A = this chain, B = another copy of it.
Amino acid sequence: MKIGDLARAAQCTVETVRYYEREGLLPPPARTAGNYRDYGQEHAERLRFIRNCRALDMSHGEIRSVLALADQPSACCGAVNDVFDQHIAHVAERIRELEHLRRSLLTLRERCRRERTVEDCGILQGLAEMESGPPGRHTHLG
């Protein structure tokens, strides 16, 4: 299977596949005589697994942890559960942050219901007056 076939199967781009190889998420495949990457079914499954993790917004670090564990069939899966619980907590926290943000934005938006001049715009006045403390840094979810 060539890289284009693999990418199509996993609904991602060829560049992403090569990137995952560089990152060590996907093992380097055999090469053909013409130096083309030659993938098998196991690569397709692993890539699919990775893309599913990414669809859940897991970071490469989280995915690496999960993959490392998945490679030891008889190990205990507690660490997988831990990664998941932490990731769920990340998502929940980011939702809370964004809901707070949305309320702030709507409050500010209310200050200029119809068009006026820039001078009189309640939104711009609000942006000038606000007192936002030090930056609240958030998770890899943005």
Contacts and interface: CB of A to CB of B under 8 A. Distances in A.
Nearest to A134: B11
A112 B81 contact: yes
Interface of A: 11-12, 45, 48-49, 51-57, 66, 69-70, 72-78, 80-81, 84-85, 87-88, 91-92, 94-95, 98-99, 101-102, 104-106, 108-109, 112, 115-121, 123-124, 127-128, 130, 132-136, 138, 140-142
Nearest to A16: B135
Contacts of A128: 45, 48-49, 52
B69 A118 contact: yes
A80 B73 CA distance: 56
Oligomer copy total: 2
A85 B99 contact: no
Given A76-B118, A77-B120, 6 more contacts: A11-B133, A55-B130, A77-B115, A88-B109, A95-B102, A140-B142
Contact of A81 (B69, B76, B120, B123): B123
